[in-house]
Amino acid sequence: MAAHSGKGNYRARTRVVVAGRDPAAQHGFVNMPAFRGSTVIYPTMDDLMHRRGRFSYGTRGTPTTEALESAWSDLAGAAGTVLVPSGLAACVLALMSCLKAGDHLLVTDSVYRPTRNFCDTVLRRFGVETTYYDPLIGSGIAALMKPSTKVVFTEAPGSQTFEVQDIPTLSEAAHAHGAALIMDNTWATPFFFPPHERGVDIAVEAGTKYLGGHSDLLLGLVSANAEYWPRLREAFDSMAICAGPEDVYLALRGLRTMRLRLAEQERAGIEMARYLEKRPEVKKVLHPALPSFEGHTIWKRDFLGASGLFSIVLHPVAAGAVAAMLDGLKLFAMGYSWGGFESLIVPFDCKAYRTATRFEPGGPCLRLQIGLEDVEDLKADLDAGFARMNAAAKAA
């Protein structure tokens, strides 16, 4: 079997199976092994001095990392990809590759909270000014641009609250100002939102989520278009925040079934969202694929699908009643992260740290990750949970 780049006339489902594989170079074994190493040995002093060879040192890449980077670049439509130890590290590297002291950064108010913390602490200490903007601002973002604005950071849909940003419009405004557009694309992945095709300069993904798929690895991916790839690679080589070999190996294995898992979790997620829309305890379902959701029109225009992560807003009820619901769930576990095979549920309240917009949902909020369990069993688990919540509310 010859090596595959994943490019050509193959459809997405086939590309994800063959991209980055070269069994002939692996003595016929199907999967790339986990190369563990730091030192690369050169046969002569001349080779050493001129760095002749495919690899030079462990922090700059191995056959394992090269396989995943190549496959991801193909799938994302990128000029290149680098791998880092976590999704947050991916956000950090993307920002550090484009910013310096004195620069101004625009960040969506719905951003992943650890990214916000990095901007408010480390970047502030390094002399970078951050302004948060309404995720639904669209072309109005041009009014927030300063001469020193170098990056517009987006996340679509928004973390927890799922606002769907108009990425092509934001890209046009950023580029007209000479700024880069960076996007956290973890929710959709390149399968449901091809970032560089939509005007994104640098895309970050938490491979911890859907790429890994089994809640047993930590990984971040940063891909760039041709214009920004050289500076991204330079920042990566200078900082040497590289991913570990076992996590990269597991991510490569997860890649082969990622498209199928996403399709199933999309189907199950939409079915669960529709079920929750009909529950009397639920005030609103925050899911971009639902026609009732505010950002549905943009989602339908720009996205190719939806993952299994969404939120709901409950009608006003005491915290103790919500706890009664969650504490007794059998299939929905309480835990952070998402994208694995198991269903998860967590309460959240982002009112305290939103600064550019007011989030007033009118009731307690829950974020749900729909896994690979049977949806009828998941519905039954939530039905029992709502019954406990109602009983606790009545008894209070």
Strand ranges in the chain using DSSP code E only, listed in sequence order: 80-84, 104-108, 129-133, 149-155, 180-184, 202-206, 220-224, 282-286, 309-314, 344-348, 365-369
Q: How confident is the model at residue 31 (pLDDT cuts 50, 70, 90)?
A: confident
Distance CA 122, CA 95 (A): 11
**What CATH number was assigned to the domain covering residues 12-254?**
3.40.640.10
> What mean pLDDT comes out for the span 243-248?
95
Given a contact cutoff of 8 angstroms between Cβ atoms, the answer to whether 67 and 32 are in contact is yes
Mean pLDDT along residues 217-228: 98
Taking every pair of C-alpha atoms in the chain, what is the biggest distance, in angstroms? Answer: 81
pLDDT at 141: 97
Residue 156, SS3?
coil
Q: Identify the pLDDT of residue 338.
A: 95
* CA distance linking residue 4 with residue 6, whole number of Å: 5
Q: Class of 259-395 per CATH?
A: alpha beta
**Which of 9-13, 76-80, 255-259 is predicted with the least confidence, judged by mean pLDDT?**
9-13
Judged by average pLDDT, the poorest of 16-20, 83-87, 204-208, 390-394 is: 16-20
- pLDDT given at position 27: 61
Domain spans of the chain, in order of start: 12-254, 259-395
In whole angstroms, what is the distance from residue 104 CA to residue 148 CA?
A: 5
* CA 338 centroid distance within chain: 10
Confirm if 378 and 329 have CB atoms less than 8 A apart.
Answer: no
Dihedral, 248, 254, 255, 259 alpha carbons, nearest 10: -160
290 by DSSP, 3-state: which?
A: coil
User: What pLDDT does 3 receive?
Assistant: 45
DSSP summary character for residue 23: G
Beta pairing class for 180-184 and 149-155: parallel
pLDDT surpassing 70 at residue 135: yes
The two tokens of residue 146 are: 């300063």
The pLDDT mean for the chain works out to: 94
SS3 65: helix
Cα dihedral value 269, 271, 277, 282, nearest 10: -50
What are 153's strand-pairing partners? 107, 182
Given a cut of 70, is residue 84 above it in pLDDT?
yes
> Count of residues for the chain?
396
pLDDT tens-digit series, residues 181-201: 999 999 999 999 999 999 999
Least confident of 6-15, 169-178, 303-312, 382-391: 6-15
- The pLDDT of 338-355, averaged and rounded, is 95
**Cα 87 to chain centroid, rounded:** 7
With a CB cutoff of 8 Å and minimum separation 6, the contacts of 18 are: 4, 6, 10
Whether the pTM exceeds 0.85: the reply is yes
Which residue from 189, 190, 173 is spatially nearest to 181, judged by alpha carbons? 173
Q: Cα separation of 308 and 286, whole Å?
A: 12
Q: Where are the alpha helices (DSSP H) in 278-374?
A: 296-302, 319-327
**Model pLDDT, residue 72:** 96
pLDDT greater than 50 at residue 166: yes
Residue matched to tokens 């790839």: 229
- CA distances for 135 relative to 52, 93, 241, 359, 373, angstroms: 48, 22, 30, 12, 33
Q: Which residue has the tokens 């990392």?
A: 65
Higher confidence at residue 62 or residue 185?
Answer: 185
- Residue written as token pair 């938490």: 206
Helix/strand/coil for 159 = coil
Give percent of the chain with pLDDT exceeding 90.
Answer: 84
- Edge-to-edge strands of the sheet including 80-84? 80-84, 220-224, 202-206, 180-184, 149-155, 104-108, 129-133
Asked if the domains 12-254 and 259-395 are classified in one and the same CATH topology, the answer is no
| 305: its two tokens | 């699908």
Identify the bridge partners of residue 204 per DSSP, sorted by sequence position.
184, 222
The answer on pLDDT for 2 being more than 70 is no
C-alpha–C-alpha distance, residues 205 and 283, integer Å = 31
- Lookup: tokens for 253: 């294995």
Instruction: Give how far Cα 332 sits from Cα of 145, 189, 311, 386, Å.
Output: 43, 23, 14, 13
Q: Kindly tell me if the per-residue pLDDT of 132 is higher than 70.
A: yes
How would DSSP label each residue in 83-114? Answer: EESSHHHHHHHHHHTT--TT-EEEEETTS-HH
Q: How confident is the model at residue 8 (pLDDT cuts 50, 70, 90)?
A: low
pLDDT grade for 28, boundaries at 50, 70 and 90: confident
